[in-house]
Structure 1
Amino acid sequence: MKNFLLILICVLLGVCGQFLLKHGMNSGERVDEMDEIIPRLMRAATNPFVIAGFAGYGLSAALWLIVLTRADLSYAYPMLAMGYILVVGLSRVILQEAVTPARFMGTIVIAAGVWLISRT
């Protein structure tokens, strides 16, 4: 149970990081041309939401190192797929993104796989 809890914290930090990055990047203009990439990334590097998003990922990675010392990789790594499930659900609720039937069914399949792995 301790391993599952640590993995869940890693997943939650990663999901939070992803939403912070999305929010930070949505606060600027869309990048459509190759010559816009470097200037846009330079501006993004100073955005507090982008910085916080990377911090969430960094903390998740640090905790993941602890998970790797305690759990089988064949158990722990597939459990990260919980992040996909949370991102799809929260994107629908928070970002008002459309979740097509195919995307929803794919998420159900992922959830079933995570459930099966968690039973071992």
Structure 2
Amino acid sequence: MGYIYIFGTVFFTVYGQIILKWQISKYGGLPPELWDKVLFVLRLLLDPLILSGFLSAFVASLFWMAAMTKFDISYAYPFMSLSFGLVFLLSIFLFHEPITAHKVIGLALIIAGILVTSQSA
């Protein structure tokens, strides 16, 4: 059951990141003037999907608290790195972000780190 808590944490973390990127990109860049920045942020905060991204971060933290009752943090936390890989893959397919050698190497190192740290002693 503990792994479901970790999966929930990763899932809701990734959802929040993807939904925020998707919705914020619809609003354009951050304006240069302070007052325009304030209005820009207020518009973002009124967007229901952006609010769902914030809610997903809260839900992810609830799953994380449950995971902490089942695992040592030194064991569970490396699994949070899976969110990097999932966001990377989704950003390619959803936002057509470029695949670079540096990103692929970095992702491979993250996966290797997860494999090494998840091994029982």
Query: TM-score, with normalisation over the residues of structure 1?
Result: 0.91
Q: Which runs of 5+ in 1 are unaligned?
A: none
Output the CA distance in 1 between the equivalents of 2:31 and 2:46.
20
Percent identical among aligned pairs is 25
Aligned length: 119
Match of 2:44 in 1: 44
Match of 1:70 in 2: 70
Tell me which amino acid in the other structure corresponds to 1:71: F
Query: TM-score, with normalisation over the residues of structure 2?
Result: 0.91
Comparing both chains, which one has the higher relative contact order based on Cα–Cα distances under 8 Å and sequence gaps of 6 or more? Answer: 2
The answer as to whether partners of 2:31 and 2:40 remain within 8 angstroms in 1 is: no
Output the CA distance in 1 between the equivalents of 2:38 and 2:70.
40
CA deviation string 1:79-113 (max 9, x = no partner): 10000011111111111100211111100110111
Tell me which amino acid in the other structure corresponds to 1:13: F
Task: Write the mapping of 1:24-103 to structure 2, written as runs, cut at 5 A.
Answer: 24-33=23-32, 35=34, 36-103=36-103
CA deviation string 1:19-60 (max 9, x = no partner): 111111112121042513221111000111101111111110
Q: Which runs of 4+ in 1 moved over 6 A?
A: none
The answer as to whether partners of 2:30 and 2:40 remain within 8 angstroms in 1 is: yes
Partner of 1:98: helix, strand, or coil? Answer: coil
The answer as to whether partners of 1:23 and 1:49 remain within 8 angstroms in 2 is: no
